Structure 1
């Protein structure tokens, strides 16, 4: 269906070319971005109907580089979320664990749901651990911003 290693390599290349001078990649993994609302009934369909790509966390942003095109593959940054815009993180799923990133405020929120992480499938890393790592990155970013504002 798709070559995970190729998606990781091309996605990393694109992310690295779009980093700020003080930005570093802290975590990345292959996953699928859901196009439909993910529920226990639809989680398998969300994976098969989702968009394959690379999810990368940096000390400033979250990137999702998606693969598109059947005959000729193209790669592009489909989602770029500054860490300070993330309002909530959640994990769920019975068979397919997912990570939901909520961006914005209560009045205007957008959810991005990512499933089928390569490392989770390989049992090297659990989705809850990915969420915890991301929460730590966001917390550190907010602490640094507070320190910078106080100076």
Structure 2
């Protein structure tokens, strides 16, 4: 059974934090689906990932391409991903089910700490997933570095 990690973004924006988490997940050998709600926003994120740090290369694709199943990281808006991920990173309030947490190595929920609606959505996800018996951790960067603040 996997676990869900909640990342409360307060110091760095999504397009700076996500590549770091993707690199760590790739380092664990996982295939990843980055799930959002809006195709335009996922296209924006795709562009940002291609414009990453000069000393790194993060191979990824945007859903709908001819090689979706081969992508180590696939950006998608759907509940399933063609690349058979072992890790899902949900952004912008994208849904995550308890069943999904159980089948994945890891599920990450990244949310903007400056957006009250995003914080409320993350709290709701935390409650529904932990009430369903999912193992969960809450990570905050408010001190300037990532710290685990809660675990259930």
Normalising by the smaller structure, the TM-score range is: under 0.3
User: What TM-score, normalized by structure 1, do the two folds share?
Assistant: 0.24
User: What TM-score, normalized by structure 2, do the two folds share?
Assistant: 0.23
User: RCO higher in 1 or 2 (8 Å CA, sep ≥ 6)?
Assistant: 2
